[in-house]
Amino acid sequence: MIQNNKIKIPRAEIGVLGGSGFYNLLDPSVGGVKEYEIKTPFGSPSDKIRLSKVENKKVAFIPRHGVGHKLPPHKIPYRANLWAMKKMGVKRIISPMAVGSLNPLIKLGNFIICDSFVNWNCAREDTFYTGQEVEGVKKSERVAHFEMAEPYCPELRKNIIKGAKKLNIPYHTTGTVVVIEGPRFSTRAESKFFTRSGWDIINMTAYPEVALARELGICYANIGLVTDYDAGLVGQKGIKPVNLKEVIKVFNFNNERVKELILEVIKSIPKDRKCKCDRYLDEAVI
């Protein structure tokens, strides 16, 4: 296990952040999966980091809620998770997440490859650039303002879309996720407001991961896995109140399919990056 700087940190090329109920990418009992503990300036990640190989590519996996869902959304150590990935050399992160639908055209079981987000919380540490001394951040770069017009890596999104098409998974190529603080769900009034605003899905964890990945120069894309219709849609034609039994059924089905999709995407990811995800810092420092 990695406990101090004297022990070499393992290397990985691709990172995966598992969402609710998604605690393993590959079965650790089958061999080839090693577990590591990595300390960061921001504390420990959500759980041990599992390292494995897929198509000869090294993949690091962190269940963002911890195994057994021990961390609520507002207590997840987002900065530690992303920092650990960066220290391992990860250049691309795939981030599946359970979401609720705000749009009646986005059905249960659909996958959303998001192209934008709306941040609806203000209590989370969402930057490495606080003006204070941080390991690995130069004094001249401790304040930075990052562009977020296109928050998700276009290349990685294309890979995910191609994978979903190949596997015949019902998907949407665009979508805006509104990220609420949690852990409570929205009221019906809040949910109706989000829908009227034109946003597509709702979630509690999609932010600040995307912003932190941008700051670290890591390509990042998320996959929204629709498990239910949010409160504001209930009562519309064909949409019934949330039933926990049905949610869990969709939930488990989605997680099995997203594992298959992620493995397909990893196989197709090229070695070199042609996007600008690793160059945003050059434009962010005054």
- State the chain's mean pLDDT as an integer: 89
Q: pLDDT per residue over 191-236, tens digit each? A: 999 999 999 999 999 999 999 999 999 999 999 999 889 888 877 8
Q: pLDDT per residue over 86-109, tens digit each? A: 999 999 999 999 999 999 999 999
Q: Which residue has the tokens 């990042």?
A: 220
What pLDDT does residue 8 have?
A: 77
pTM to 2 decimals?
0.91
State how beta strands 49-54 and 34-36 pair.
antiparallel
What pLDDT does residue 249 have?
A: 80
What pLDDT does residue 224 have?
A: 95
E strand map for the chain: 14-18, 34-36, 49-54, 57-63, 92-101, 111-113, 116-120, 171-172, 176-180, 201-203, 219-229
Task: Indicate the burial class of 80 (C-beta count within 10 angstroms; 0-12, 13-18, 19 or more).
Answer: buried
Residues of the chain with pLDDT under 50: 1-6
Which one, of 13, 9, 10, 8, lies nearest residue 56 by Cα?
A: 13
Question: Identity (one letter) of the amino acid at 80?
Answer: A
What pLDDT does residue 5 have?
A: 44
Catalytic residues: 228, 230
Domain topology for 14-284: Rossmann fold (3.40.50)
What pLDDT does residue 130 have?
A: 83
What pLDDT does residue 1 have?
A: 29
Cα–Cα distance for residue pair 271/126, rounded to 1 Å? 29
